[in-house]
Structure 1
Amino acid sequence: MAGQLLLVDDEPGLREAVQAYLEDSGFTVDVASNAREGLDLARQKLPDLVITDIMMPQVDGYQFLKQLREEPQFKTLPIVFLTARGMTADRIQGYNAGCDAYISKPFDPDELVAVIKNLLEKQAAARSGGDDEVHNIADMARQIAEIRALLTQRGAIAQSTTPVKLDLTPREQSVLNLVVDGMMNKEIARRLETSVRNVEKYVSRLFVKTGTNSRTELVRYALEHGLTKE
């Protein structure tokens, strides 16, 4: 199962070796040498899973995990601790902090690959039940109603503000247009012939670029600033 991974470790030799092994196993791997770089890369790349060391200078793995979990797009992101801290108490602390797997150095690369595949499969299964940002039928109905209400006001909203220009990719623009049309992620995935996971990534990027936190806010922003075509 292919996936986009982010590896954060301050040891260059280990970082390069793990990256090479994971790429040989079919994954796309971005790397960072510290948590600050890792957070920036996570926001840019929206990885499917993060592998991080715990003992790093300035910002350690626990703080890094906390920073990720504080951002809506990373609430359910699988995170693996890959660390030399292998005592039982360390493992307990890691799981209590919210990691999804804890692997001690030295480790078997095949075990790491197996853990990653397992977590990605579980994540895919969890997502198959519905859109990531819509947790139940009531929320879905509320968001659809709010978006429809905004669409009825489309002309008035558009006339009251000044258009802005955002640096959107063609695919981001396509996804934005369909979100504004009131489509949910499954419908967008079918329309664009892609996966729900990819649509979720594009929607998350749109949230970041527009400074919004929900589909309703995103639709309002797009209408107010002339980001979609009639």
Structure 2
Amino acid sequence: MERGGLVYVCDDTAQIRRLIRVNLELEGYEVREAGDGEELVAALHDLETLPGVITVDAQMTPRDGWWTIAHIRADPRLAHIPVIMVTASVQQHDRAQAQGSGLDAFLAKPFDPDHLLDLVSGFMAEGRAHTPAP
């Protein structure tokens, strides 16, 4: 399967952003980064070409992943973009919050890079209609 397209990675840890970036770039994706939700939302408003997929962490300051997802889903220009949460927050209440947030996939850290690539590839091909395997 040919891969490519823009993915935006939002995480407050530079090493995690770099890990995700390297894995995606090796598969032909263009990657841009943001250090928190506020930075991501501002950057998305300035883009002419929107990303095909966004990854976000749950726990970031000053704006966390939940704030970020709410803003993405509330904006008609952005609402169609699949969002994957890549996070160490894997408690049951985090998963329950994810189900009601408009999140498209939940990936626990540490994560298998191949699983992330499969998710990104599926969402790039099918948009939010993609149903990821558990």
**How does the TM-score come out when normalised to structure 1?**
0.52
Tell me how far 1:34 sits from its aligned partner: 1.1
RMSD: 1.7
Change in Cα spacing, 1:124 to 1:89, as seen in structure 2 (3 Å) is closer
Secondary structure of the residue aligned to 1:28 is strand
Q: Deviations over 1:179-227 (max 9, x none)?
A: xxxxxxxxxxxxxxxxxxxxxxxxxxxxxxxxxxxxxxxxxxxxxxxxx
The structure 2 residue matched to 1:24, chosen from 20, 23, 26, is 26
Q: Deviations over 1:86-131 (max 9, x none)?
A: 12331121121110000000000010000111112212989xxxxx
Tell me how far 1:71 sits from its aligned partner: 1.1
Alpha-carbon contact 1:8-1:34 (below 8 Å) kept: yes
Long gaps (5+) in structure 2: none
Q: Could you say which structure has the greater relative contact order, defined with CA pairs below 8 angstroms and 6 or more residues apart?
A: 2
Q: Which runs of 4+ in 1 moved over 4 A?
A: none
**How does the TM-score come out when normalised to structure 2?**
0.87
Secondary structure of the residue aligned to 1:92 is helix
The equivalent residue for 2:116 is: 112
Q: Which has the higher helix share?
A: 1
Long gaps (5+) in structure 1: 127-230
Alpha-carbon contact 1:95-1:101 (below 8 Å) kept: no
The structure 1 residue matched to 2:88, chosen from 62, 75, 84, is 84
Measure the CA separation in 2 of the matches of 1:63 and 1:90: 14
Aligned partner letter, 1:95: Q
Number of aligned residue pairs: give it. Answer: 126
Aligned partner letter, 1:27: Y
CA radius of gyration, larger in: 1
Measure the CA separation in 1 of the matches of 2:26 and 2:80: 26
